[in-house]
């Protein structure tokens, strides 16, 4: 767990992920809608909010149990410090029950609809 201060804002953020993983998530997030939109879309299977490619991208970014635990521990240890961007994204995804099966089912449904046409 590291606290990093931004150059201009002087605010600390919690960084608990491996830098490579964090960077990959931040890059992946650039092609996705905002975190709150993603969560709502996954819960309601809103295919207008997230494309099939977006679903497949999110499947590669699903947090592991270890990552979930590290983020939770860091939040408990530093409740006043906000999470880094990638950590916040994974924390939001982790709050969705049965995330991986939901995404896999959704991707299958979209693939099936494409095959049917």
Indicate whether 98 pLDDT > 70: yes
Instruction: Report CA-CA distances (Å) from 44 to 20, 48, 49, 54.
Output: 31, 11, 10, 15
Do residues 3 and 16 touch, judged by C-beta distance below 8 A? no
Q: What is the pLDDT of residues 102-114, one digit of tens each?
A: 999 999 998 888 8
Q: How far is Cα 54 from Cα 49, in angstroms, rounded to an integer?
A: 9
Output the average pLDDT for the chain: 89
| pLDDT-based confidence at residue 4 (cuts at 50, 70, 90) | low
Domain ranges of the chain: 2-116
Q: What is the pLDDT of residues 56-72, one digit of tens each?
A: 999 999 999 999 999 99
Which is more confident, 47 or 96? 96
Q: Report the phi/psi class of residue 14: left, alpha or beta, with left for phi > 0 and alpha for psi in -120 to 50.
A: beta
What's this model's pTM, rounded to 2 decimal places? 0.84
Beta-carbon neighbour count of residue 66 at 10 Å? 8
């Amino acid at each position: 767990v590291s606290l990093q201060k931004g150059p201009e804002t002087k605010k600390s953020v919690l960084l608990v992920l491996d830098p490579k993983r964090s960077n990959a998530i931040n890059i992946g997030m650039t092609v996705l809608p905002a975190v709150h939109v993603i969560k709502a879309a996954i819960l309601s299977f809103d295919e207008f909010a997230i494309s099939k490619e977006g679903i497949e991208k999110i499947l590669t970014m699903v947090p592991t149990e270890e990552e979930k635990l590290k983020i939770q521990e860091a939040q408990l240890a530093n409740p006043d410090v906000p999470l880094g961007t990638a950590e916040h994204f994974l924390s939001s995804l982790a709050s969705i029950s049965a995330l991986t099966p939901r995404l896999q089912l959704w991707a299958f449904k979209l693939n099936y609809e494409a095959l049917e046409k």
